[in-house]
Amino acid sequence: MLAYFVKRLGLAVIIVSVAMLMLFCMIYAIPGDPAAVALGPRATDAMREALRIKMGLDQPIWVQFWNFFTGAWTGDLGREVLSDRPVLGVVLEQLPFTLALIAGGIIWSVALGIPLGCFAAIRRGSLADRIVGILSVAVIAVPSFVIAIYALLIFAVQLRWLPAIGAGEPGDLGDQLFHLILPSLAVGLGWVGYIARMVRASMLEVLEASHIRTARAFGLPDRQITYRYALTIAVLPTVTLLGVGIGQMLSSAVFAEIVFARPGVGKLVYDAILTRNFPLVTGTVLVTTVLFVMLNLVADLIVGALDPRVRSSF
């Protein structure tokens, strides 16, 4: 297990490093002088030169990369252009909003997906099973931002059941949760489909297993067999699925934040692009990428701990 952990961690570090290299190349390739962009057209040549030296742009490219690389690993992502605050601080300030949104999406997808998948597996082949199957495919297929806009249109604008804008009053947890319902549904709805399909498939597999047959032979009630002995095993694969899913939910969260005008890293990076605040863009992309790689790592490690076959095949 330890060897697997070390290997997997090493790979994650290498992947993040390569991602940093790609990101650096992208920043470097952006046309125009970053210092000139940051200062605007009315800056003097002397001001631009001073900022260039301050930003380290007068150094050779490999020195610039090394500074970027070591800075990024130690948490120094540079300073943002507008308010001159450290990028990492700005991003970490917004991150909890996005994580709350993703957590809400996971709760929605698990709360709806597991019962639906379980229900479909028990009534295998019935009309209800088919309808659940089609609905699962449908919510997976439709892009999350369309779901977000339609959810906003139906539940906030037309029915006025739920708020449309913002993250709620700071400090008022009830209000914040109330504001979270709709955006997190938009983030999690697609994953209801994935989880329902996954749980259905693994349920069908588990129901064929010998320990279930033994339980039946002992005459245990169906309900107990299904929920106590089959479902507890059948939900395990969803852990891996969620590890992959969180990355995609991050993408959905970006749209949900923009549609529902919520604070968060998505809104942050979107506004940063519109104001050409490049250090903030790359900083946010980097933080979310590291987060994504880490979550995948955690999911892999959990699966590795649960299933020794994964470890040996690595």
Identified binder of another protein from the candidate list 9, 18, 53, 131, rule CB under 8 A: 18
Instruction: Say if residues 73 and 221 touch (Cβ distance below 8 Å).
Output: no
Give 99 or 149: the residue with its C-beta nearer to another protein: 149
The interface region with another protein, picked from 71-79, 169-177, 234-242, 266-274 by CB under 8 A, is: 266-274
Tokens 């800056």 belong to residue: 43
* Tokens 């946010």 belong to residue: 284
Give the one residue of 63, 92, 273, 306 binding another protein; rule: CB under 8 A: 273
C-alpha distances (whole Å) from 181 to each of 97, 146, 249, 260 are 13, 17, 15, 11
Stretch that binds another protein, among 218-226, 227-235, 292-300, 303-311 (CB under 8 A): 292-300
Angle between helix 173-207 and 127-141 (nearest 10): 130
What is d(CA 55, CA 78) in angstroms, rounded to the nearest whole number? 8
Helix (H, G, I), strand (E, B) or coil at 238: helix
112 binds another protein (CB under 8 A): no
Q: Which is nearer to another protein, 229 or 278 (CB)?
A: 278
Rounded to a whole number of angstroms, the minimum distance from the CB of residue 26 to another protein is 5
142 in contact with another protein (CB under 8 A): yes
22 scored as a contact of another protein (CB under 8 A): yes
Which range, of 10-18, 41-49, 74-82, 106-114, touches another protein by CB under 8 A? Answer: 10-18
Q: Which stretch binds another protein (CB under 8 A): 78-86, 209-217, 235-243, 271-279?
A: 271-279
> Considering beta carbons, is residue 6 or 273 the nearer one to another protein?
273
In angstroms, the CA 258 to CA 270 distance is 8
**Does residue number 30 form part of the binding site for another protein (CB under 8 A)?**
yes
Query: Which residue in the set 44, 74, 83, 158 belongs to the binding site for another protein (CB under 8 A)?
Result: 158
- Residue 167: strand, helix, or coil: coil
Binding to another protein by residue 15, rule CB under 8 A?
A: yes
Pick the closer one to another protein by CB: 226 or 237.
237
Residue in 69, 205, 270, 310 binding another protein, rule: CB under 8 A: 270
**What radius of gyration do the chain's Cα atoms show?**
24
- Cα torsion angle, 10, 286, 299, 240, sign: negative
How many CB atoms sit inside 10 A of residue 83's CB?
9
Contact residue for another protein among 59, 64, 176, 251 (CB under 8 A): 251
Give the CA count within 13 Å in the CB-facing half-sphere of 312.
3
- CA gap 96, 84 in Å, rounded: 22
User: Phi and psi at residue 79, in whole multiples of 5°?
Assistant: -115, 145
Q: Which tokens in the block code for residue 240? A: 């891996």
Tokens for 190?
Answer: 């697609």
**Contact residues for another protein (CB under 8 A)?**
11, 14-16, 18-19, 22-23, 26, 29-30, 134, 137-138, 140-143, 145-146, 149-150, 152-153, 157-158, 247-248, 250-251, 254-255, 258-259, 266, 269-270, 273, 276, 278, 281-282, 284-285, 288-289, 292-293, 296
